[in-house]
Amino acid sequence: MHSHSQSPILTLRNICKSFGGVNALNNVSFDLRAGEVHTLCGENGAGKSTLISVLSGAIQPDRGTITIGSRTVSDLSPNEAQELGVATIYQENVLFQGLSVAENIFVGAELKRASGAIEHKQTRRRAAEILDRLGAPLDVGKPLASLGAAQQKIVEIARAFRQKARVIIMDEPSASFGHHEVSLLFRTVREVSSSGTAIIFISHHMEEVFELSDRISVLRDGEMVGTFEAQTVTEGELIRLMVGRSVDQVFHHRPAMRDETVLSVRNVSGAGVRDISFDLKKGEVLGIAGLVGSGRSELLGLLYGSLPRQTGTLQVHGKPVEINSPVEAMTNGICLITEDRKLDGLLLEQSYLDNFLIATLPKYARPALNWPKARRDALAYRSRLSIDTPGLDTRVTALSGGNQQKVILARCMNVDPDIYLFDEPTRGVDVGAKEEIYTELQKLVDAGKSVILVSSELPEIVGLCDRVFVMKDGAAVRQLAVPDFTQSDILEAAL
Ligand SMILES: Nc1ncnc2c1ncn2[C@@H]1O[C@H](COP(=O)(O)OP(=O)(O)OP(=O)(O)O)[C@@H](O)[C@H]1O
Ligand SMILES: [Mg+2]
């Protein structure tokens, strides 16, 4: 625990914010102490991102007050928030890929000589000091683009630290990280907080929440349930506070594998993936483990035709197939649920209904588009996957992150493929929704569907899969079959 003063440096009082009919925040009060890591927990759509948008000045609340230091206001602009020392680190970073680490840390506050020329040497020296101070000795002369995702996030934190931010806000910063990257990031976060800067952190990973937090605030349906010292609550209690029921985190994988090959992959290479061969059985869940960057997502891209294959052949149900595009993959009964909902998954500006229909239009187009049926199906999936959207016509941008993820799943299930390629399917979804997705996955394999699952969450791999491939540098280095593998077997093979 930190020994910083217990009086708040930032306070929210009775904040209300609604979007149309949705009460995203209802009378929320919250306080933050210097030097603490304060985590916001809650289900998808609970209001976490909305709360931090109020603090970063991205949205203005309808009611309530914000006090930072000695100043109390009814809302903030992004500039005011920054001037008051609130730095926000978004999931997509806003750094300059072409500039060096040092230049990024000093962007907007370049060190200059009287002549106006930039003091490169001085910039590098001071940047190195800051990174040292944060326990992250990166090479400050390197271009940012050469760094991994976690290191880039560390550079963003270093910049906020250089700006003397009083508060650093991070909304699911580690969602796409593997274990190693998470620990790099957390080390920096701890250093920053021990210097007195407060951190507001959001994560759906209970392990991360308990590892990092001093205090935890729980939001539920836009209301503040309470704030707790991290040591005084258990994981089970926290989940009950978030979800309103206890969630059984044990996996119930019932093997459904049959001795019938659905997909044969032979000598597939391309996009950094080297010579992969395997047979996927009917009803099988095949896991693909490995570190971030080991080629797991690329392998799925090759099978789905979204990345160009250099060598190799594919057979579906014993017949050779040419899959060179996602459309061809879908025609052959293969669907991909992507890890990046913003980049390849969703049409954000369009409605849930449009996104739901986009892959299955022909199904409803005999002869004219059968809107009543389309709407019925969209409603059925909305309730089956508990997608929290006010209407079918709500634009996807207005949904919370986890609910966007479920829209992708609904769209894919409506295609009814035989083979599901899942890339980090539970990323960004809350603990309750995770359990729902696991249950859906079991229903799929019970119904004779086959699944290839890429996941960085080892419990997920061990709990759900019949067999697992461990990838490293683009190759499958190890194959492990249930029940004789553990998380540590997988880690060992991956490293
Ligand atoms: N721009 C917007 N327009 C309309 N509704 C919105 C908008 N932003 C958020 N909402 C709604 O406000 C509620 C809270 O959303 P918010 O994004 O804060 O949830 P969250 O707790 O961050 O969830 P997640 O864990 O899924 O990211 C949701 O019902 C969401 O649909
Ligand atoms: Mg969010």
pLDDT at 20: 86
Give φ, ψ of 273 to 5 degrees: -95, 135
Local structure of 7: helix, strand or coil: coil
Which two tokens mark 217?
A: 């605030």
Can you tell me the distance from the alpha carbon of 281 to that of 279, in angstroms, rounded to the nearest whole number? 6
Is the CB of residue 283 below 6 angstroms from any atom belonging to ligand 1?
A: no
Q: Crossing angle for the helix pair 401-415 and 431-446, nearest 10 degrees?
A: 10
Can you tell me the distance from the alpha carbon of 86 to that of 449, in angstroms, rounded to the nearest whole number? 48
Can you tell me the distance from the alpha carbon of 465 to that of 454, in angstroms, rounded to the nearest whole number? 10
Identify which of 26, 49, 52, 224 to mutate to test ligand 1's pocket (most ligand atoms within 8 A of the CB): 49
CA of 128 to the centre of ligand 1 (A): 38
Locate tokens 């760094």: which residue? 147
Can you tell me the distance from the alpha carbon of 63 to that of 336, in angstroms, rounded to the nearest whole number? 43
Query: Which pTM does this prediction carry?
Result: 0.85
How long is the chain?
495
Locate tokens 């002369």: which residue? 141
The answer to whether the beta carbons of residues 263 and 319 sit under 8 Å apart is no
Query: Residue 108: which residues within 8 A CB-CB, separation 6 or more?
Result: none
pLDDT at 117: 85
pLDDT at 343: 56
Local structure of 55: helix, strand or coil: helix
Locate tokens 């000795």: which residue? 137
The answer to whether the beta carbons of residues 195 and 161 sit under 8 Å apart is yes
Query: Residue 40: which residues within 8 A CB-CB, separation 6 or more?
Result: 48, 51, 52, 200, 201, 202, 216, 217, 218, 219
pLDDT at 1: 46
Can you tell me the distance from the alpha carbon of 374 to that of 204, in angstroms, rounded to the nearest whole number? 32
pLDDT at 256: 82
The answer to whether the beta carbons of residues 253 and 464 sit under 8 Å apart is yes
Nearest residue (CA) to ligand 1, atom 2: 398
Is the CB of residue 432 below 6 angstroms from any atom belonging to ligand 1?
A: no
CA of 315 to the centre of ligand 2 (A): 40
pLDDT for 163-198, tens place per residue? 999 999 999 888 878 888 899 999 999 999 999 999
Can you tell me the distance from the alpha carbon of 60 to that of 204, in angstroms, rounded to the nearest whole number? 25
Q: DSSP letter string over 96-158?
A: -TTSBHHHHHTTTS--B-TTS-B-HHHHHHHHHHHHHHTT----TTSBGGGS-HHHHHHHHHH
Task: Starting at the earlier edge strand, list the strands of the sheet with 475-481.
Answer: 334-337, 419-423, 450-454, 285-290, 467-472, 475-481
- The DSSP letter of residue 362 is H
Can you tell me the distance from the alpha carbon of 120 to that of 122, in angstroms, rounded to the nearest whole number? 5
Can you tell me the distance from the alpha carbon of 419 to that of 65, in angstroms, rounded to the nearest whole number? 51
Cite the DSSP H helix spans in 358-457. 361-364, 371-384, 401-415, 431-446
Local structure of 350: helix, strand or coil: coil
Identify which of 22, 389, 394, 396 to mutate to test ligand 1's pocket (most ligand atoms within 8 A of the CB): 22
Is the CB of residue 401 below 6 angstroms from any atom belonging to ligand 1?
A: yes
Identify the segments of the chain with pLDDT beneath 70.
1-5, 248-250, 339-344, 482-484
CA of 47 to the centre of ligand 2 (A): 7
Can you tell me the distance from the alpha carbon of 295 to that of 274, in angstroms, rounded to the nearest whole number? 9
What is the atom index within ligand 1 of the atom nearest the CA of 20?
A: 4
pLDDT at 85: 96
Local structure of 253: helix, strand or coil: coil
What is the atom index within ligand 1 of the atom nearest the CA of 389?
A: 31
Local structure of 446: helix, strand or coil: helix
The one-letter amino acid at 227? T
CA of 400 to the centre of ligand 1 (A): 4
Give the burial class of 116: count Cβ atoms within 10 A of its Cβ; 0-12 exposed, 13-18 middle, 19 or more buried.
Answer: exposed
- The DSSP letter of residue 366 is S
What are the structural domains of the chain? 8-243 (3.40.50.300), 261-494 (3.40.50.300)
β-pair partners for 211: none
The answer to whether the beta carbons of residues 31 and 10 sit under 8 Å apart is yes
Q: Crossing angle for the helix pair 235-243 and 431-446, nearest 10 degrees?
A: 90
Which two tokens mark 257?
A: 């594998």
Give the burial class of 234: count Cβ atoms within 10 A of its Cβ; 0-12 exposed, 13-18 middle, 19 or more buried.
Answer: exposed
Locate tokens 């990345």: which residue? 307
